[in-house]
């Protein structure tokens, strides 16, 4: 009986961190943030409210620059950058990489097409995404994309470690927003 209880408690403990990380739901207000990022290797200030003033925002969280999946995802967003621009959307990638790494990634893998920015603990917590931060493990790292309409409401959430559907689904969502206006 004690072994069974211990095993059940251990299993529950393993599930709790994952359950604690549940993305924000569709319809929720997107938390505003200000941070630093890079576009074409140049450092810039990034503010969600300012980006939304221009149109919808595709905010995607990726685990770590220069890893295979994140590189392929960045290439896919870069290749579709003209389509996102035609739909009036801004693409913003976020990870907890340091600024020098983001500068290199913005040029090498984002191909100077969109901004990548630093996701500090408050942003990670506000968006309820699973990204590991130095000294703080949030459980399994996830790849999560949000589409935020110009009013600041989340209209799409896609969370899947497979990068391949992130571009397709977010582009479809911003095209629907454009068609609705």
Residues 6+ apart with CB under 8 A from 61: 93, 94, 95, 119, 124, 127, 129, 131, 142, 143, 144, 145
Query: Distance between CA atoms of 96 and 61, rounded to whole angstroms?
Result: 9
Judge contact between 163 and 39, C-beta under 8 A: no
Q: Rounded to an integer, what distance in angstroms lies between the CA atom of residue 13 and that of residue 95?
A: 26
Instruction: Exactly one of 65, 70, 154, 155 is catalytic; name it.
Output: 70
110 is catalytic: no
Indicate the pairing of strand 57-61 with strand 90-95: parallel
Q: Read off the DSSP letter of residue 121.
A: H
What CA–CA distance (Å, rounded) separates 161 from 131?
12
Structural contact between residues 140 and 152, judged by C-beta atoms closer than 8 angstroms: no
Compute the C-alpha angle 92/116/49, nearest 5°.
45
Give the residue numbers annotated as catalytic, written as ranges. 70
């Amino acid at each position: 009986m004690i072994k069974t209880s211990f095993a059940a408690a251990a299993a529950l403990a393993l599930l709790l961190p994952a359950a604690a990380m549940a993305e924000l739901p569709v319809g929720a207000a997107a938390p505003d943030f200000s941070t630093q990022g890079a576009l074409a290797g140049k450092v810039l200030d990034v503010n969600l409210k300012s980006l939304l003033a221009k149109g919808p925002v595709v905010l995607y969280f990726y685990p770590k620059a220069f890893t295979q999946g994140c590189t392929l995802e960045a290439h896919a967003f870069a290749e579709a950058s003209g389509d996102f621009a035609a739909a009036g959307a801004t693409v913003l990638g976020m990870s907890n990489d340091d600024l020098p790494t983001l500068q290199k990634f913005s040029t090498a893998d984002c191909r100077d097409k969109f901004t990548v920015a630093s996701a500090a603990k408050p942003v990670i917590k506000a968006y309820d995404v699973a990204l590991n931060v130095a000294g703080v493990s949030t459980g399994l790292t996830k790849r999560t994309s949000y589409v935020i309409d110009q009013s600041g409401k989340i209209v799409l959430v896609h969370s899947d470690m497979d990068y391949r559907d992130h571009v397709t689904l977010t582009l479809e969502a911003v095209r629907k927003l454009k068609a609705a206006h």
